[in-house]
Structure 1
């Protein structure tokens, strides 16, 4: 039977980074992975970052809905259409506001018998754990039914902070294994057991933040990206974009995480959506976004 691993975690916790490493390890031990990526809009942007690690046809981006609610049917259908492989392994990365409890409940029914019960891995940003203000309940909910909790962003943190977060996580989910993400080994993951037990219902509609995307003009340089990410209000919890810089014909991908850090890296190929800017969070409105882009370009 084929294992299904579901990665959940708050925006910017490090799910995609962990996914990339797990993919590499899986291929080194002859697993044949298939990946499903969920995002609010243009999941293809993230998908293209993984394309080079997977065989043709082994990557499915799902966008436009949350896979724990309106998108659950599309997710089930996508899983059931996955080709049979000799050493198959399915990995699903949920978007950063998924209700993990509801997602695992829905995935418990309707899947082909060739799949094992899904196992959930929660990626927790130790630096920012429960420092999300009104979104703390969502973040805590994401670890309640996880078999394993992978800790990220621990570098430079005092031991007392790391231990305090571990203690809180143990209280939220006493059945989970907690370890640093760097210590995970792909061979241990399919052997994890699904977590059972009763979980309090979470009012998930609170986490269905607005999202929008707008066409993004080519930008002069990386400094302009930094300025753009700085100018977008902090109520916007995630910023992603893909565009060309200066006279370069190559595309550059960038993102701003909830803690404000900006990551800029080359994008493989050309996005089918064209040059785009995507934001997720309260107050996401195309008109405001276009105004900010215009202001930044005028200043550069």
Structure 2
């Protein structure tokens, strides 16, 4: 029977990083993973980053719906149509605002009997755990029915902070295993059982934030990325983008986490939807994105040296 592993966690916790780690590890061990990614805006952007070791036909991006509620039927129907493979395993990454309890409860209803009951892996950002203000309840909800909790963002974190977070996680979910990413034994994941923990209900509609995207032109220099991320409202919890810088031929991917930290890395290949800037969270509006991009160009022009005719 084929295992289904759903990956949940707050925006920017490291879900896609874990997904890529699991995908590559399973492929290296001779497994045949099928991947489903869910995001409010342009799930293709993250999907493209997984295609260095897996054929795109084994990846399904689901954009524009939330798979724990409005998109659950679409997800279930798609999973049932996944082709049977030798050593098959299905990996599902939920969007960062998913009601993880509802997702696990509803996903297993109506799946074909060739699948094992879905299990859930939650990604927890140790640095920012329960520092989300009004969003703490959502983050707490996302670990309640997980069989495994993976700790991320642990560099430069004190031991006392790590122990505090682990203690709080065990209080909320005493049945889950708690590991760091490098300690995961992928061969044991399909043997995990669904959680026995009793979950508290979440008013999930509160987490249905706005999202939007806009085209992103080639930027004059790398500082434009940092300026864009800094100028966008703090109410926007997630910023992602992909574009070219200056005369570079390859694309650069960037993201701003809810705590404001910005990460850049080379983009794998070429985005099928073209260069984009996308945001998730209150305040997301195409006009704000477009205004911010224009302002970043103005700032860039002030940095460029003045050309003189000699």
TM-score by length of 1: 0.97
- Cα offset for 1:249? 2.7
Query: Secondary structure of the equivalent of 1:50?
Result: coil
Query: Secondary structure of the equivalent of 2:198?
Result: coil
Query: Secondary structure of the equivalent of 1:51?
Result: coil
- Whether the 8 Å CA contact 2:243–2:253 is kept in 1: the answer is yes
| Structure-2 residue corresponding to 1:152 | 152
- 1:56 and 1:292 mapped to 2: Cα distance? 33
- Cα offset for 1:197? 4.3
- 1:145 and 1:57 mapped to 2: Cα distance? 30
- Whether the 8 Å CA contact 2:125–2:151 is kept in 1: the answer is yes
Deviation string, structure 1 residues 85-110 (Cα, Å, up to 9, x no partner): 01100000111100000100111201
| Structure-1 residue corresponding to 2:59 | 59
- 1:215 and 1:27 mapped to 2: Cα distance? 34
Deviation string, structure 1 residues 108-157 (Cα, Å, up to 9, x no partner): 20111100000100000011000000000000000000001111111121
| Structure-1 residue corresponding to 2:22 | 22
- Cα offset for 1:268? 2.2
- 1:197 and 1:262 mapped to 2: Cα distance? 35
Which residues in structure 2 correspond to 1:78-227 (within 5 Å)? Answer: 78-227=78-227
- Cα offset for 1:56? 4.4
Which residues in structure 2 correspond to 1:262-281 (within 5 Å)? Answer: 262-281=262-281
| Structure-1 residue corresponding to 2:282 | 282
- 1:198 and 1:84 mapped to 2: Cα distance? 33
1:7 paired to 2:27: no
| Structure-2 residue corresponding to 1:47 | 47
1:257 paired to 2:241: no
128-137 or 176-185: bigger deviation: 176-185
* 4+ residue runs over 3 A deviation: none
Larger radius of gyration: 2
- Cα offset for 1:292? 1.1
- 2:183 and 2:197 mapped to 1: Cα distance? 27
Alignment gaps of 5+ in structure 1: none
- 1:138 and 1:258 mapped to 2: Cα distance? 14
Count of residue correspondences: 300
C-alpha root-mean-square deviation of aligned residues, in Å? Answer: 1.1
- 2:71 and 2:249 mapped to 1: Cα distance? 35
- 1:244 and 1:91 mapped to 2: Cα distance? 30
- Cα offset for 1:12? 0.8
Query: Secondary structure of the equivalent of 1:53?
Result: coil
Alignment gaps of 5+ in structure 2: 301-310
- 2:221 and 2:82 mapped to 1: Cα distance? 41
- 2:102 and 2:181 mapped to 1: Cα distance? 24
